[in-house]
Structure 1
Amino acid sequence: MDIAMIGLGRMGANMAQRLQRGGHRVVGFDPMEAARARAGEAGLEVVGSLAEAVAALPVPRVVWLMVPAGDTVDQTLAQLTPHLAEGDVVIDGGNSNYQDSIRRARSLADDDIVYLDCGTSGGVWGLQEGYSLMVGGDAATVERLATVFQALAPAADRGWARVGPSGAGHYTKMIHNGIEYGMMQAYAEGFALMERKKEMELDLGQVAEVWRHGSVVRSWLLDLSAQALQGNPSLDGIAPYVEDSGEGRWTVAEAIALDVPAPVITLSLLERLRSRESNSFSDRLLAAMRNEFGGHAIKKG
């Protein structure tokens, strides 16, 4: 099957390569010349415009988007849609908000273009290990494109599924990322406790390696933690500053909207926000209040 991959950043280019390995022809485009050049050096067929990418495909066409969530997706669709026709399929493999995906699917349906939302997990390891794919949208279309998802997944019979109607793919990916926040925070806190207990002389890389085999807390995140700690036990050169992709925020907002308590996910998001405060006003005010009511000493900054 021929596929146009729009967005040749690291993940998009890796997915294109995995599709090629699965026997699919991939025509790639990215608005950034440097990204096109890197993709070409990796052996991908690259063209210079969206129109060329679409024109290179037989009908009905399959276009896979790997562009940043938000306005960029809408802008890309606005440029792409005039080149599409009835029966074509657009797959959004980025981490879009599920409500945007529902809106886009309805809008493209007016032109008889099918829009699938595909939550994609696997990161930089996906090229080697395969991707976890959560697909939302028309069931018949997903069935017709099964070989595409099978080529990207860890195996043809696992790691991917149509999880529901339009929006369901990105909804489940949103919740997936919220869970990821909580798991990462728990690992980080546990290892911080062990690091602080100096008299135990713990080798954190060794502990992580022990836990990877047979332990009830084993996971891929633990595998990656073990790798990081073995390579850099004191985490030298890494600033205590943690970004968030936005999906954790959407998950917390969804929990509030549905009246579902999600304290672990919520607090893990707040801890990421806290990591970015180098001179916290709230902490300074806390110190000032302790001094005011109890005469406790203030540490000068």
Structure 2
Amino acid sequence: MHSKTTFDFGLIGLGVMGRNFILNVADNGFKAIGYDLSQDQVNALREEGGNPEQVNATTNLKEFVDSLSLPRKIMLLVPAGPIVDKVIEQLLAHISEGDIIVDGGNSFFEDTDRREAYLREKKINFFGAGVSGGAEGARKGPSIMPGGSTEAYKEIQPVFEAVAAKYKGAPCVAYLGPKSAGNYVKMVHNGIEYGLMQLTAEFYDLLQRIGGFSNDQLAETYNRWNQGRLQSFLVEISSEIFQKEDELGSGRLLDQILDKGKQKGTGKWTSQNAMDLGIPVPTIDIAVSMRAISALKQERLKADSLYSRPTIQKKDAAELVDMCEASLYFAFVITYAQGLHQLAEASREYGYQLNLAVVSRIWRAGCIIRAGMLEDIANAFEKEPGLPNLILSEHFIGELQKAVPSVRQLVALAATSGVPMPALSSTLSYFDSYTDGRLPMNLVQAQRDYFGSHTYERLDREGTFHTEW
């Protein structure tokens, strides 16, 4: 590379996500340069970019850094973990005070806090920025969730607002808060994603087994749902997946895909951290567990042969679809409610100062969990900024109340038919527990005091008590 162009934006890691993101930056009028150890990746970007004055790439780190305008804006799209630390150390030899490094990977939020503190001492601005939307989102407009220094954000804001997805003209990016606020929001986004994916899969299973739906009927049903209040990326792509023909055999591709779910850990982090914070997110928890159960394929096949299953209870197709639509709406709302409840608590615990209306708004386009209902969710938090849980929002009380009878019927129908719907069942249990003024935890407290002298509180007087049982 012999160009003397000064570039506005640099990106390290030219895999599919990185290449697509940098091309998006260049398309929006910013001169961008990429860096990768692989000459093939560098060549691929140069070829696709076309104009080396607008978008270029190199395998020489010093050349990459020296070609950037000040303060340098460098984004990393490399695998989370030790590689991020390694790249930061390599960059420190070449960059200067005031420069900005953005980690666009799915880094664990505590790692982001550590890196941010370390680089602040060296007067380098560090951002953790969640980027959602997959490879296509990176190219055409992702949802971006940045957290870090407010002052430094002003430098990178024009680039991020230009490349982000737009919802009715508004960019799906916003400064979310200090330190690891951006990475934390992306982590919970991914937890919600696990929940919504598990739910869409459970309803597919139920419609197939109890309703006897064909792939075409499933495609038509999900497509119709996507035109209404269930409008969302995951419902939309499910409809398309049902229609995909198998190029390696006959029939539909979905029917040949092995039922073993894989995971990269972000859903698990959401569950683990929710437990640390004492916030219940059972729909997300069970979605993580179901990927683990699905991985036990051989054991499941053996158990399937050892136990008989109940007879499927048939149901009128039209009635079943209506019950499913109401139940999936209910479960989607409550999955978002759980994730946003966790964000509210994390914001207090970690000092993020998150605005949940803003978080909901930047999820309306570009990201995997984008859905029409996020507009209503954003409005609910706009109206009541201190709202502890979406279940308590005026807008949703009526809608959830109307949907509950369908959910109860469906959970009962699935249970008597032996069709597992763990995410829907746990969503209903969560709702029933959250909306119940009296839970049997008094017995648990009595047991704790009985065997461990842990004390208990009373309904009729103040203070803590212990009984010699």
Q: 1:275 aligned to 2:294?
A: yes
Q: 1:192 aligned to 2:170?
A: no
Match for 1:205: what amino acid? A
Query: 1: CA distance between counterparts of 2:267 and 2:68?
Result: 37
The 1:97/1:199 distance shift into structure 2, 3 A limit, reads: closer
Partner in structure 2 of residue 242 of structure 1: 261
Return the TM-score normalized by structure 2: 0.58
Return the TM-score normalized by structure 1: 0.89
Query: 2: CA distance between counterparts of 1:170 and 1:282?
Result: 39
Partner in structure 1 of residue 232 of structure 2: 219
Structure ID, larger Rg? 2
Partner in structure 2 of residue 25 of structure 1: 31
Partner in structure 1 of residue 313 of structure 2: none
SS of alignment partner, residue 80 of structure 2: coil
Partner in structure 2 of residue 265 of structure 1: 284
SS of alignment partner, residue 174 of structure 2: strand
Listed as ranges, the gaps of 5+ residues in structure 1 are: 289-301
Task: Identify which range, 175-184 or 47-56, moves more after superposition.
Answer: 47-56
The 1:285/1:222 distance shift into structure 2, 3 A limit, reads: closer
Give 1:174's match in structure 2, choosing from 187, 191, 194: 187
SS of alignment partner, residue 297 of structure 2: coil
SS of alignment partner, residue 170 of structure 2: coil
Q: 1:205 aligned to 2:219?
A: yes
The 1:282/1:110 distance shift into structure 2, 3 A limit, reads: farther
Post-superposition shift, 1:283? 6.6
Give 2:68's match in structure 1, choosing from 29, 40, 57: 57
Partner in structure 1 of residue 9 of structure 2: 3
The 1:239/1:41 distance shift into structure 2, 3 A limit, reads: farther
Post-superposition shift, 1:141? 1.2
**Percent identity, aligned pairs only?**
34
Post-superposition shift, 1:198? 5.9
Match for 2:74: what amino acid? V
The 1:157/1:210 distance shift into structure 2, 3 A limit, reads: closer
Query: 1: CA distance between counterparts of 2:113 and 2:144?
Result: 18
SS of alignment partner, residue 27 of structure 1: strand
Post-superposition shift, 1:279? 1.9
Post-superposition shift, 1:280? 2.4
Matches within 5 A, 1:129-168: 129-155=140-166, 157-168=170-181
Partner in structure 2 of residue 113 of structure 1: 124
The Cα offsets for residues 205-243 of structure 1, whole Å up to 9 and x where unpaired, read as 1111111101x2221111111111122446143222222
Post-superposition shift, 1:85? 0.7
Query: 2: CA distance between counterparts of 1:99 and 1:153?
Result: 25
The 1:102/1:199 distance shift into structure 2, 3 A limit, reads: closer
Post-superposition shift, 1:127? 4.2
Post-superposition shift, 1:59? 2.1
Match for 1:196: what amino acid? R
Give 2:111's match in structure 1, choosing from 92, 100, 108: 100
Listed as ranges, the gaps of 5+ residues in structure 2 are: 1-6, 50-54, 246-251, 308-469
The 1:199/1:92 distance shift into structure 2, 3 A limit, reads: closer
The Cα offsets for residues 43-64 of structure 1, whole Å up to 9 and x where unpaired, read as 1411012222111112221110
Query: 2: CA distance between counterparts of 1:282 and 1:107?
Result: 50
Query: 2: CA distance between counterparts of 1:211 and 1:143?
Result: 40
The 1:199/1:137 distance shift into structure 2, 3 A limit, reads: closer
Post-superposition shift, 1:249? 1.1
Q: Which runs of 4+ in 1 moved over 3 A?
A: 197-202, 281-288
Partner in structure 2 of residue 88 of structure 1: 99
